[in-house]
Amino acid sequence: MRRAPFLLSFLALTACGNSSEPASTAGDASVDSGTTDGGRDARYVSDGRPIYPEIVCGTGPWATYELQTIGQTIGELSKEQPMLPINVSMSACPEVKGVTDGEGYAILKLPIGKPNSLRFDAAGWLPTRWHELTPEAWSSEPTFTIMATDSAKELPGFAADKGVILVDIAASSAGTCFSNDGVAITVKDHPEAVVTYHAASSPFAPVKDATGTTPSGLVSIAGLATGTKVTLVGTKKDCEVVPYATPGTILVEAGVVSRTQMMVRQPLPSCGPGPWVLLGGATTTRETTGMTGTAIPDVDISFSACPGVSVKTDSAGKWQAWVGANMPAARRFQKDGFFVTNLSEQGWPQDYEKLDLAIRNTTTWSPLMPGVDTTHGYVLVGISAPKTGDCIGPEGVTITVKDHPDAKVLYMDGEPPKAVTGTVTTKRGLAYISGLKPGELLPGQITGAREGCTYSLDGSVDTGKARLEAGALTIVSLYSHKAP
């Protein structure tokens, strides 16, 4: 199978999923963030100076990316790669004329939240325009391609005065829709568009009379007037076809190959812009013995980043949803008769379907949660300790709460958890915090310390933020760091 050069690649996942009481053995969160003083990414600077030419669009804040433009023929990477300066222009900043170094590298600084389309021009290569995307502070680093000249012969309708759109369609790596063939593409509001589907193997030639994609997932579109900005629509039985980028619109230009990518995936609720990861898990009752109990159907799960988007658990207590890769979002679980449960804000870099959660029946658990009431937020804190290094073990940690003068920390042990007389965590690594005013819980407001170690809410996939809700339970982890 060919490997399509997709716009965004996912980072390796190093985190574990949530349970209703945070584990005390998650990975050490003390890894350096990779940034220098002043917020400059250490990958992009040396001695405070940029390693590569900077191409800056507009005013900040920016999403900063390392650009390496990769050479592509239709359907695969080019045997020759562009080892020369490449001219870069951007729709959001037409006045900026950027140029890479002699090996095609540059630092892109794109305004966060502003749709932008990048065009690449280089001697001996076809001018290539990418779809509109909206950079975010959390988005993965993009990889763009520039089209080799020999691509033109396999693109019907392409000419010096006529543009063409080249589409890569890939199937999701998770869910139920694993195949990118059989996808029909139309251009919204443009019946004059001529859609061509390409063969499954090199040279990826046009397939006569085809009505859908082959396993190459390659589609070219001609017949559109230059200067036209279009949106593509994809359909496939029992699946959905969505653009990788937001808004994903495509500009047609004379003598330019306009590039875009789409994804075949299982129809599910979707939160945030693409690309997406598939998140899922099972929801059960939390028993007083500490064990998980029976599956709970019809639990409503919503996402802080996407008001109005929610998913319900099925008869087996399971749920799935597409969520923007690395996008910070907190999940909220609600079911009559159970505590509303808020989890830490997290950004997931890849698919993860073991986000199991055991929620607490209000009748059973209210007497066992000292200080819980209907007017304040209530937090369950677990110490996330590494298995090696200087901060092994969850015991001996003193927890401090800032900006909440009425907060009371109770250190717990046993099953069901009961308050202990000490002022540090036991080997259970668990504490309840009552009396918290509702609102947003921010990094630094709950911290921990023991000799040689500090603890914070940010670590692994957790951003350090959470939601405090009146009468609800919020579950967070404190991640260990070696003290300076």
240 and 314, same domain (yes or no): no
CB-based contact 261:245 (threshold 8 Å): yes
List, for the chain, all residue ranges whose pLDDT scores fall below the cut of 70.
Answer: 1-43, 48
Number of residues that make up the chain: 484
**Residue 15 pLDDT:** 32
**Residue 165 pLDDT:** 98
CA 63 to chain centre: 14
Domain assignment of residue 328, given as a range: 271-482
282 and 259, same domain (yes or no): no
The b-or-e profile of 127-141 (16+ CB within 10 A means b, else e) is: bbbbbbbbbbebbbb
261 and 306, same domain (yes or no): no
71 and 201, same domain (yes or no): yes
126 and 61, same domain (yes or no): yes
Domain end (from 265, 282, 309): 265
| Residue at 131 is within a domain | yes
**Which run of H or E residues covers position 364?**
helix 362-365
**Residue 327 pLDDT:** 97
CB-based contact 353:144 (threshold 8 Å): no
Domain end (from 217, 234, 265): 265
| Residue at 319 is within a domain | yes
CB-based contact 381:466 (threshold 8 Å): no
| Residue at 478 is within a domain | yes
Strand ranges for 335-461 from DSSP E? 341-343, 357-359, 377-384, 398-401, 408-413, 418-419, 430-436, 439-441, 446-450, 453-456, 458-459
pTM of the model: 0.88
378 and 460, same domain (yes or no): yes
Output DSSP code: residue 15. Answer: -
CB-based contact 326:459 (threshold 8 Å): no
246 and 304, same domain (yes or no): no
| Residue at 23 is within a domain | no
User: Could you write out the three-class secondary structure of 344-362?
Assistant: CCECCCCCECCCCEEECEH
314 and 261, same domain (yes or no): no
Count: domains in the chain: 2
109 and 219, same domain (yes or no): yes
Backbone angles phi, psi at 153, to 5 degrees: -70, -20
337 and 318, same domain (yes or no): yes
Q: How far apart are CA 313 and CA 280, in angstroms?
A: 10
Q: How far apart are CA 457 and CA 468, in angstroms?
A: 14
At 224 the three-state DSSP class reads: coil
Q: Which residues contact 236 (CB under 8 A, 6 or more apart)?
A: 177, 182, 183, 184, 212, 264
| Residue at 60 is within a domain | yes
329 and 439, same domain (yes or no): yes
| Residue at 10 is within a domain | no
CB-based contact 278:351 (threshold 8 Å): yes
| Residue at 302 is within a domain | yes
**Residue 201 pLDDT:** 94
**Residue 13 pLDDT:** 26
| Residue at 6 is within a domain | no
CB-based contact 144:71 (threshold 8 Å): no
Q: Which residues contact 412 (CB under 8 A, 6 or more apart)?
A: 418, 419, 420, 426, 428, 430, 431, 432
Q: Which residues contact 290 (CB under 8 A, 6 or more apart)?
A: 21, 415, 416
Q: How far apart are CA 482 and CA 467, in angstroms?
A: 27
Domain end (from 213, 239, 265): 265
CB-based contact 90:117 (threshold 8 Å): yes
**Residue 41 pLDDT:** 58
User: Given the structure tokens 């090696």, which residue do they identify?
Assistant: 388
Beta bridge partners of 253: none
CATH code (residue 389): 2.60.40.1120
Q: Which residues contact 39 (CB under 8 A, 6 or more apart)?
A: none
Q: How far apart are CA 111 and CA 285, in angstroms?
A: 45
**β-strand pairing of 318-324 with 270-271:** parallel
Q: How far apart are CA 132 and CA 246, in angstroms?
A: 7
232 and 294, same domain (yes or no): no
Q: How far apart are CA 345 and CA 101, in angstroms?
A: 39
Tokens of 240: 């959905």
Q: Which residues contact 291 (CB under 8 A, 6 or more apart)?
A: none
Q: 319-340 pLDDT, tens per residue?
A: 999 999 999 999 999 999 999 9
**Which run of H or E residues covers position 239?**
strand 239-243
Beta bridge partners of 118: 90
